[in-house]
């Protein structure tokens, strides 16, 4: 068995990958702030102040003096990376971030998200058909959890279905922390080239999708580089995180059949059930900020230039709830959490993520009511080289 995750801010025990590890819990209850190494695909390993308490996390994430941008240089002429690509929201703070965010948010309105439910439902059923035809017995990650969100992203971007294998590979490399800067640079250059082709196609004829909407509504004020960055935002954020959530959610429900029964037997609870899964599993990439001046958390100094990393896993589990926060309870009344971040940089596409996971899990266990693990739980392997936590392989049968 592999350790579920190698990153200290997101450490989970091998015996239960659905809750924080004992070392992370110990740091949480220590009143002192600790500085820990945090892997970063672009910067290498950086030292960051670990924040685990929910109130501290919200204070940091809502304070504009903790910046998310990586010193973006608009006049950069060297090779592009995720840290100097125009249009990528993580490169901006303040008014410029608000400007770009408003444009992207317009493509993820509730009306737009609801309109996608039919398309997503069709994609889900098609993938379940393929799973059923291949079985009984498949790797649910490779057959379902990875390709399905990618197909949804292809729809959102107007990307041809035949491009999905390359998109999947590029997205996987982009989220890995186990590659060299040179590999990341070459991979990002290929992603830029591909997205530029999509942007050019939408410039000629805007499609009925999110990238097409951005071109129609904002194409006159956005240049191609900015549209490329926005498209890459949708691609990377919308694929890896949902893939991780689908795989780990399926494992958690198979591990807790009494909770699975709640989801399977009462459709009225599916919305709250998905909210609970997002809170408990907390698979998203680390929330890293950099102090732009001397600051403090709980009267402890954070120096200008220091990085801060928020453990959403620990913050979500540390809340005072009617029952132990670490226990998955799909009947629990939804409570606020940090699975989608907080403050001005909160995930733009969170409503789409909620809808997608709800449709996916309901359909999966309705189609396969007898779904079960095909290997012992103790033999499950986890992704330890990715910014997004998840299951590496999930052999199931029915």
Contact by Cβ (8 Å): 387, 284:
no
Instruction: Answer for the pair 158, 198: CB distance below 8 angstroms, yes or no.
Output: yes
Q: Is residue 2 part of a domain?
A: no
Mean pLDDT along residues 189-208: 93
The pLDDT, as a whole number, for residue 4 is 47
Q: Is residue 318 part of a domain?
A: yes
CATH of the domain at 76: 1.10.630.10
- Record the pTM: 0.91
Tens of pLDDT along 108-132? 888 888 888 999 999 999 999 999 9
Looking at residue 384, its pLDDT comes to 72
First to last CA, the chain: 24
- Does the structure show a pLDDT above 90 at 35? yes
Top-confidence residue, 181 or 194:
194
User: Which residues constitute the domain of residue 122?
Assistant: 8-397
Residue 233: count of CB within 10 angstroms of its CB = 20
What does the alpha-carbon distance between residue 50 and residue 60 come to, in Å, rounded to a whole number?
11
How many structural domains is the chain composed of? Answer: 1
The continuous run of DSSP H or E covering 80 comes out as none
Q: Is the pLDDT of residue 2 over 50?
A: no
pLDDT over threshold 60, residue 149? yes
């Amino acid at each position: 068995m592999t350790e579920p995750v190698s990153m200290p801010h997101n450490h989970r025990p091998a015996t239960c990958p659905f809750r924080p590890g004992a070392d992370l819990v110990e740091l949480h209850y220590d009143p002192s702030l600790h500085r820990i190494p945090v892997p970063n695909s672009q910067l290498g390993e950086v030292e960051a102040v670990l924040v685990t308490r929910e109130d501290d996390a919200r204070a940091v994430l809502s304070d504009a003096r903790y910046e998310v941008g990586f010193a973006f240089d608009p006049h950069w002429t060297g090779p592009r990376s995720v840290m100097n690509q125009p249009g990528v929201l993580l490169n901006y703070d303040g008014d410029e971030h608000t400007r770009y965010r408003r444009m992207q948010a317009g493509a993820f309105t509730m009306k737009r998200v609801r309109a996608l439910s039919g398309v997503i439902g069709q994609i889900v059923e098609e993938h379940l058909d393929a799973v059923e035809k291949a079985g009984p017995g498949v790797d649910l990650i490779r057959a379902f959890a990875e390709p399905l969100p990618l197909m949804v992203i292809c729809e959102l971007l107007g990307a041809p279905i035949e491009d999905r294998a390359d998109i999947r590979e590029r997205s996987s490399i982009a989220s890995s922390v186990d590659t060299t800067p040179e590999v990341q640079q070459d991979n990002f250059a290929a992603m830029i080239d591909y997205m530029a082709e999509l942007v050019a196609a939408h410039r000629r004829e805007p499609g009925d999708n999110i990238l097409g909407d951005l071109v129609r509504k904002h194409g006159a004020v956005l240049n191609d580089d900015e549209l490329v960055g926005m498209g890459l935002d949708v691609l990377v954020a919308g694929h890896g995180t949902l893939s991780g959530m689908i795989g780990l959610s399926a494992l958690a429900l198979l591990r807790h059949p009494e909770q699975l029964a709640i989801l399977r037997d009462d459709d009225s609870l599916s919305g709250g059930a998905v909210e609970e899964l997002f809170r408990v599993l907390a698979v998203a990439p680390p929330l890293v900020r950099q102090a732009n001046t001397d600051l403090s958390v709980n009267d402890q100094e954070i120096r200008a230039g220091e990085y801060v990393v928020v453990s959403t896993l620990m913050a979500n589990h540390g809340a005072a709830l009617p029952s132990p926060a670490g226990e998955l309870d799909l009947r629990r009344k939804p409570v606020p959490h940090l699975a989608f971040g907080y403050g001005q940089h909160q995930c733009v596409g969170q409503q789409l993520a909620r809808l997608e996971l709800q449709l996916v899990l309901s359909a999966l266990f309705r189609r396969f009511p007898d779904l079960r693990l095909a290997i012992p739980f103790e033999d499950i392997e986890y992704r330890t080289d990715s910014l997004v936590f998840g299951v590496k392989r999930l052999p199931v049968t029915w």
